[in-house]
Structure 1
């Protein structure tokens, strides 16, 4: 989230002083740095040529909190949603329907009708869904731009669960299965209101070259449809997102320039001006600009291994706990007043959460300053998919999330999401 530990120390110290973090009243909270977020979004806008029509639709699943979506809307981003709830959050945040893209492999008839009524763009996942839309369009006058999601079947990255262009992925229509490409082209030609096409190769674990290869397949398909139609039927290409995030450094700006350069090399036709472009970045927009901070309740020695028991575990770091090899997080240690313990002697330690199962560990065998009860542990790079997507294990209350503006040594906080009280967490 920040360039150095001193900046994090300033934030955590101020949060402790204002009792947003408190060892008894509030031992767990999350923070988003608005300044760093603005810088990163500016880098995203600047990476793409000014002469192209580009809509950057933030992947709402990465952080669906309405104040966050409102900030992103104010920074010129649209929204990509994958459920009724995400659509409602985007609308609540003030996103215009025409700047919202609806993706989901399991859209219901009600959801499709709502999207068509609003004029939300739709990426169709399969032929059965397309049949539903054809029937709904016979009854609903709609301004929605509609396209089909193609699976280019070019292969998976290093994290299978994050790859969506394999031979048997659940998403989209497989472009290389026998007879499917011709059926897709014929479907476009028979339905001239299909004016978009979409692909998404994957995210973390997918190389830029793999992503560019998938986009190249998309452009080639669109060119084929337009040539056979004898006109510019497909006008917009939704190229998804998927830029991998650097979880190993403090660099706050994502590699959007590298992403665009990879596309220039692997899919140069994308920049011809013949197509409008939609992107769906999520993690790369927000991950580096958030931290989860938790007090350490106890420490213990077990079989020679030192373990720190904290209040941040699977309920805020679900992916890291269940897939630690794929989703490791950097951990930083502060004292009870927010002063960094950087520079002190280290020891191999486990950092555990509060959930009642043995695997609830956010760091395993990590060399860290010797953690003491009352210290604060910070999980870095957690602005996306962590505190914003809580896991209600053990009926643990949802932790608060705060936005922060750092003005010198005087951070200013605003509440993004209030924390739950215990009775709220268990109320039906």
Structure 2
């Protein structure tokens, strides 16, 4: 495992953009995108990612853990947070590893150039073929249960370089968003440690399988406080000590402490920070950083969310029941969680004219709606904004993770283009990350080549 990179000089840290500077960069990127034709009436929707901001976020993560010099850390990026090969390659160039949770994500990580020794496969439903591939590549595998440990034992070749771990559920409770909490009493993930006999079965598995050398825990993501996350990690750390003491040898080599640091979508401030996360871990399990165990992290949203935004054209406006509604091209197909769980996933919205200048004037209560054909397709409800007009653009902030990278194909709406940008103020440069999906591609994915397949079956005799 590679050590955490050295801490940069203080002057470098001081040069990182403040939240206000991030907003200014985003506004400049929007103006230039409109001027360059990346957004227009013909191109009404796109996602944007600040590559410099991503690099800064990675460095902030490294800095936080580098303050604990006694431990070696492999920082991996959760591929599901931005399943785009150019984004993953940028992160690989930053020295990150990659956490993957499916065969598709594993393929993306390999194509992005992550060394296989820096890839970690997590998934609650791995087939034998998926396990064989992972073991052949030499990527680390976290088994989701004891039955999977048994299956790995049947498949694994002696001398395999893959680090094998076991995911445990410390059952420390639910965060503010139940759907994002994975350490509840009845979570589908891992071995439930507080169930009768579970700890003993885990210890016995380590005794029976000398190649089982890791523990994995992930308490949850959005809605889970650093303290709740730290409580789950601390319980897993204590289990590692118990395994080693019971077996009378140093059997556990590393602890994968997951990710899940929440993002505060309510404002432009960063908190909680990676430094806050490390402080919570130190308070809950001081021995975690003494170097006995290597650590693995799996952050996603907290690295990318604030470094991206979505821009969508206002196509129409209307009044209904005394409420103004702005109908845009950004809805549930790109902001799925926000539409279906608006209280848990609120997004800040910016109002701009067709040239990218901030809208001004009296605030008016408005709904910002999307193009999907169901009534609840709103990305913002009863929001006070300057009055939006046809041809304006709305910006959905803090959407660099999960939003434009994993769209939903509802209504056969095409996937939007995604652009990265970088550079100093006044000289930003753009790069295409993913092309906008064509209608030909939509048709092809919808079975165009097999259009007559059902007709060919013929009627029943």
Show the counterpart of 2:48.
Answer: 31
Partners of 2:24 and 2:236 in 1: CA distance: 45
Q: TM (normalized to structure 2)?
A: 0.90
User: Which residue is 1:298 aligned to?
Assistant: 316
Alignment match, 1:68: 87
Q: CA RMSD in A?
A: 1.3
Give the whole-Å Cα distance in 2 for the aligned partners of 1:235 and 1:126: 19
Q: Give the aligned partner of residue 225 of structure 1.
A: 243
**Partner in structure 1 of residue 151 of structure 2:** 132
Q: Which residue of the other structure, out of 205, 219, 223, is the alignment partner of 1:187?
A: 205
Judge conservation of contact 2:70–2:289 (CA < 8 Å) in 1.
Answer: no
- Say whether 1:245 aligns with 2:263: yes
Deviations 1:219-249 (A, max 9, x none): 1000011112221110100000011112122
Q: Which of the numbers 155, 177, 182 marks the counterpart of 1:164?
A: 182
CA distance in 2, matches of 1:194, 1:395: 45
**For residues 113 and 80 of structure 1, do their structure 2 counterparts lie closer, same or farther at Cα, with a shift above 3 Å needed?**
same
Q: Which has the higher contact order (CA 8 A, sep 6+)?
A: 1
Alignment size in residue pairs = 425
Q: Deviations over 1:72-108 (max 9, x none)?
A: 1111110000000000000000001110000000011
* Alignment match, 1:234: 252
Q: CA deviation at 1:7?
A: 2.9
Per the TM alignment, residue 40 of structure 1 is displaced from its structure 2 partner at its CA by 1.1
Counterpart pick for 1:99 among 118, 127, 131: 118
Q: Of residues 143, 148, 155 in structure 1, which corresponds to 2:166?
A: 148
Q: Distance in 1 between matches of 2:271 and 2:171?
A: 30
What's the TM-score, normalizing by structure 1? 0.97
Structure 1's unaligned 5+ residue stretches are none
State the 1:253 CA deviation.
7.5
Equivalence for 1:41: 58
- Does 2:284 align with 1:266? yes
Q: Is the 8 A contact 1:298 1:309 kept in 2?
A: yes
Mapped to 2, the partners of 1:208 and 1:308 lie a distance apart of 37
Residue 128 of structure 1: CA displacement?
Answer: 1.7
2:389 alignment partner, SS class: coil
2:442 maps to 425
Shift of the alpha carbon at 1:140?
6.7
| Secondary structure at the counterpart of residue 20 of structure 2 | coil
> Contact 2:347–2:380 (CA<8 Å) still a contact in 1?
yes
1:141 to partner: Cα distance: 5.0
Runs of 4+ in 1 over 6 A off after TM superposition: none
Tell me, yes or no, if structure 1 residue 369 matches structure 2 residue 386. yes
CA deviation digits over 1:313-336, x for unaligned, max 9? 011100001111100000001100
Aligned-partner SS, 1:132: helix
Correspondence for 1:348 among 319, 343, 365: 365
- 3-state SS of paired residue (2:368): strand
Match of 2:332 in 1: 314
Q: 1:74 to 1:50 in 2, by over 3 A?
A: farther
User: 1:259-306 CA deviation, whole Å, 9 max, x = no partner?
Assistant: 000001011111111000000111001001000001100000001010
Structure 2 gaps of 5+ residues are 1-17, 448-461
- C-alpha distance in 2 between matches for 1:280 and 1:182: 27
Secondary structure at the residue paired with 1:324?
coil
Q: CA offsets per residue over residues 327-349 of structure 1, 9 Å max, x none?
A: 000000110000111x4211110
Tell me the distance in 2 between the aligned counterparts of 1:169 and 1:401.
34
CA distance in structure 2 between the aligned counterparts of 1:113 and 1:65, rounded to whole angstroms: 25
* Distance in 1 between residues matched to 2:358 and 2:24, nearest whole Å: 7
- State the match for 2:456 in structure 1: none
2:294 aligned residue? 276
Aligned position for 2:343: 325
Mapped pair 1:395 → 2:435: no
Q: 1:155 to 1:102 in 2, by over 3 A?
A: same
